[in-house]
Amino acid sequence: MSPKQHRPATIIEVAKLAGVSPSTISRVLNGTAVVAPETAQRVREAIDQLGFSPHPAARQLVMNRTNMIGVLLQEISGAFFPPMLKGIEAGVREAGYDLLIYSRQNEQASVRFGEHSVDGLIIFAGSMDEASLRRYYEREFPVVLLHQTPPPDCPYPFVTVENKSGAEMLVSHMIEVHHRRRIVYLQGPENHEDSHWRERGYREALQAHNIAFDPALIASGGFDEVEAGDAIENLLLDGVEFDAVFAGDDDAAVGVIAALKQAGRSVPQDVSVVGFDDVPFSRYISPPLTTVRAPIEQVGRTAVQLLVKCLRNQPCEAEVLLPTELVIRQSCGCE
């Protein structure tokens, strides 16, 4: 109503109205010192009456913290990132921070990125080069890594899932229950650690069942529907024989199933197909996808919790590995 409404109230106006000094306002606002109960009461009333809330920039400037946590990633859509982002958002909110999102799909990250914009950074695998990461480390900027182990000289905490054992379960299942022996593995994007560990699990499962590793059965699926579909197509064209596909992740599995159908092979009769992640749509494709459940949301939330510990100078785990769990549906041949 009053024309002043447009300019938000400042701490000085609150102080005047309450008949105290700005320092006192600040103290009740932040609970940073004992204030006489009645004074505090008056202050609170004044704050309410003026609808006062402290200007974040002013606070940031003097306290040298932004109360924001940044997350750096490459993609926002796709099946994998939304749950991760959701977990991060939840964690950030729980800890009383705000969430600033940087997606690198459009630009190369500036090296100085985030320096005073956020109090700490959550960095997803592959969204920052080692040199930049090292620079952060030298400046002791708080960071936690997602689905990526840090370079040896900047031992930031990281969180990821049990890729290897998950992959092992998957592959062993196809061998033991469905008697598959020629199992294709589709690698993810180059240098992707998840893919590396999944391949490790794949190989160990083979070995445990005395099946020789055959490099002809390895191809690149890029954790991507289209790329994975193409890979299968090529394998087929090359006349490579196989009776199962571990697609690398669920997105790739979808592409694999489509390509196989297209080529007249039936899933799972002719070939078993399995994914990884148990993304929401996996139960709805046809046949319903056998996969490994990765607690993606939990990964995001945990990362924030580690970061917040760092920010508070509390002791903080150097790494956390979240468990995965086999999810049997029908694309492997079950039921």
Partner DNA sequence: CTGAAAGCGCTTACAG
When CB distances are held under 5 to 8 angstroms depending on the partner's kind, the choice from DNA, a copy of itself, none that residue 176 binds is none
Residue whose CB is less far from a copy of itself, 61 or 216: 61
Residue whose CB is less far from a copy of itself, 34 or 139: 139
Residue whose CB is less far from a copy of itself, 168 or 225: 225
Residue 196 phi, psi (nearest 5): -55, -50
Residue whose CB is less far from a copy of itself, 33 or 76: 76
3-state secondary structure 26-62: HHHHHCCCCCCHHHHHHHHHHHHHHCCCCCHHHHHHH
Minimum Å gap between C-beta 67 and DNA is 11
Residue whose CB is less far from a copy of itself, 217 or 232: 232
The Cα–Cα gap between 107 and 74 comes to: 10
When CB distances are held under 5 to 8 angstroms depending on the partner's kind, the choice from a copy of itself, DNA, none that residue 249 binds is none
State the residue for tokens 């400046």: 139
Residue whose CB is less far from a copy of itself, 194 or 250: 250
Integer CA distances (angstroms), 15 to 31, 90, 129, 177, in order: 16, 35, 49, 74
Minimum Å gap between C-beta 59 and a copy of itself is 8
Task: Give the N- to C-terminal CA distance of the chain in Å, as an integer.
Answer: 68
The Cα–Cα gap between 334 and 279 comes to: 19
The residue length of the chain stands at 335
Residue ranges in contact with a copy of itself by CB under 8 A: 5-6, 8, 51, 53, 55-58, 60-61, 66, 68, 75-79, 81-83, 85-86, 89-90, 93-94, 98-103, 105-107, 112, 115-117, 138-140, 225, 254, 257-258, 280-281, 284-286, 297
Minimum Å gap between C-beta 139 and DNA is 14
Q: Which segments of 124-162 does DSSP mark as H helices, in order?
A: 130-138
Integer CA distances (angstroms), 188 to 108, 222, 269, 318, in order: 22, 4, 25, 26
Minimum Å gap between C-beta 235 and DNA is 56
Residue whose CB is less far from a copy of itself, 165 or 305: 305
326 CB neighbour count, 10 Å cutoff: 18
Residue ranges in contact with DNA by CB under 7 A: 7, 9-12, 19-27, 29-30, 32-36, 39-40, 52, 54-55, 58-59, 61-64
Q: CA dihedral in degrees (133, 135, 138, 141; nearest 10)?
A: -60
When CB distances are held under 5 to 8 angstroms depending on the partner's kind, the choice from a copy of itself, DNA, none that residue 285 binds is a copy of itself
When CB distances are held under 5 to 8 angstroms depending on the partner's kind, the choice from a copy of itself, DNA, none that residue 33 binds is DNA
When CB distances are held under 5 to 8 angstroms depending on the partner's kind, the choice from DNA, a copy of itself, none that residue 106 binds is a copy of itself
Sign of the four-CA dihedral 308, 314, 319, 324: negative
